[in-house]
């Protein structure tokens, strides 16, 4: 599946997948991590909207809870989706850079 | 894997559908308690709750395909669309009369009051009926919202069709001429289209706010009626 199926949650969905790529995290840790990666802190509603959709599609899964916080991790399908998404972004970025270089 | 209920309830979470709350409420509250909330975060939560409501409705629809929109299992959409279409038909008549008939002040007052009363009645009634069927006020409010939205869509489309095809007639309308003279604009056609756009925006805001509010009020009455019927039986 492609993340574009998530509609307006595709970008926060990608941020979540990237954030979980180096290990499981709970909601607040993801927010902080995404802010450090992108410079923008996702809103709590947006974060959980994307989280719910990713979980529904089997791209992430919940781990046993720690107190009231529940960590999430990438599933094998999530890993594949993240690789595909990043590869297609890489192609896009390279094409853009090549066009700029030819200016 | 049951989680401990949070000590502090975040009231705004009632905006989310029940199924979402059952799955995510505890960890979401834990997250909200960890980070200070700004106004933007509140808007984000409200917007996201609205998305979840729509998604939950869409999922219900998906799993109830054989019964389609006319199913009594989905009173929000069925009743909301039905009352919305009736509201839309009133808006069509209202738009025809307002734009194509030269009314005097009394006629204008009667037509405006009639459409306002109709909106109040229909949007309140749909909330009442749905809450009576489901026993939930929130379902009544949602049905009011669906009815308001549907009516506003029909009202807007018909207004632009009437304006587009009858602009020569609309240009002769006494109230339009007076408003145009007051506006200081030089192009009357542009004024008429801008007036229609402004009217449409107002109609959407009016219909959505009123739809949710009256749907909830009607829902209160409908729920009380359900409770009184079940306590009698």
pLDDT 10s digits, B20-30: 888 898 899 88
Q: How many angstroms separate the CA atoms of B150 and B83, rounded?
A: 8
CB A29, CB A63: distance < 8 Å: no
Return the residue matching tokens 């890489």: A90
Look at residue B230 in the predicted model and tell me its pLDDT.
52
Give the dihedral of Cα atoms A91, A92, A94, A97; nearest 10 deg.
170
Q: Which domain holds residue B187?
A: 70-232
CA distance B199 to chain A (A): 29
Is B19 part of any domain? yes
Is B2 part of any domain? no
Structure tokens at B128: 């009442």
**How many independent structural domains does chain B possess?**
2
Q: How confident is the model at residue A14 (pLDDT cuts 50, 70, 90)?
A: very high
Is B4 part of any domain? no
Look at residue B71 in the predicted model and tell me its pLDDT.
44
Is B79 part of any domain? yes
Low-confidence residues of chain B, pLDDT below 70? 1-10, 58-73, 222-233
Is B153 part of any domain? yes
Beta carbons of B48 and A64 less than 8 Å apart: no
Q: Are residues B47 and B104 in the same domain?
A: no
H or E stretch including A61? strand A60-62
Beta carbons of B27 and A52 less than 8 Å apart: no
Closest C-alpha to A85, from A7, A10, A20: A10
Q: Are residues B195 and B214 in the same domain?
A: yes
Predicted TM-score (pTM) of this structure: 0.49
Beta carbons of B44 and A43 less than 8 Å apart: yes
| Helix B39-63 / helix A44-56 crossing angle, nearest 10 deg | 30
Q: What is the fold, at CATH topology level, of the domain defined by A3-101?
A: Arc Repressor Mutant, subunit A (1.10.10)
Of A14-28, A30-44, B57-71, give the lowest mean pLDDT range.
B57-71
Beta carbons of B31 and A49 less than 8 Å apart: no
A44-103 confidence digits (pLDDT tens): 999 999 999 999 889 999 998 878 889 999 999 999 999 999 999 999 999 999 999 887
Whether B15 contacts chain A with CB within 8 A:
no
For residues A20-38, give the mean pLDDT.
93
Q: Are residues B180 and B161 in the same domain?
A: yes
ipTM over 0.90? The verdict is no
């Amino acid at each position: 599946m492609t993340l574009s199926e998530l509609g307006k949650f595709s970008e926060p969905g990608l941020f979540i997948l990237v954030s979980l790529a180096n290990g499981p995290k709970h909601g607040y840790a993801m927010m902080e991590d995404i802010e450090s990666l992108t410079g923008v802190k996702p809103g709590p509603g947006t974060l959980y909207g994307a989280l719910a959709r990713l979980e529904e599609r089997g791209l992430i899964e919940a781990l046993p809870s720690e107190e009231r916080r529940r960590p999430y991790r990438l599933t094998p399908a999530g890993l594949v989706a993240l690789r595909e998404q990043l590869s297609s972004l890489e192609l896009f970025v390279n094409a853009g850079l090549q066009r700029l270089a030819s200016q | 894997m049951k989680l401990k209920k949070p000590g502090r309830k975040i009231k705004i979470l009632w905006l989310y559908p029940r199924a979402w709350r059952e799955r995510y409420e505890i960890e979401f509250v834990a997250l909200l308690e960890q980070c200070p909330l700004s106004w933007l975060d509140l808007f984000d939560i409200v917007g996201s709750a609205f998305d979840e409501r729509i998604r939950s409705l869409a999922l219900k629809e998906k799993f109830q395909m054989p019964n389609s929109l006319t199913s009594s299992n989905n009173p929000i959409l069925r009743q909301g669309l039905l009352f919305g279409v009736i509201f839309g038909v009133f808006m069509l008549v209202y738009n025809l009369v307002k734009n194509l008939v030269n009314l005097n002040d009394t006629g204008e007052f009667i037509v405006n009051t009639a459409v306002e009363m109709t909106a109040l009645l229909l949007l309140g009634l749909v909330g009442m009926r749905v809450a009576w069927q489901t026993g939930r006020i929130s379902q009544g409010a949602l049905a009011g919202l669906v009815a308001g939205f549907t009516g506003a869509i029909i009202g807007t489309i018909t207004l632009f069709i009437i304006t587009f095809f009858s602009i020569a007639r609309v240009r002769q309308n006494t109230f339009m001429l007076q408003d145009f003279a007051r506006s200081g604009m030089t192009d009357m056609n542009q004024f008429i289209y801008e007036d229609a756009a402004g009217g449409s925006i107002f109609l959407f805001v009016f219909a959505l706010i009123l739809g949710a509010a009256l749907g909830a009020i009607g829902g209160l009455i409908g729920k009380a009626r359900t409770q009184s019927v079940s306590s009698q039986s």
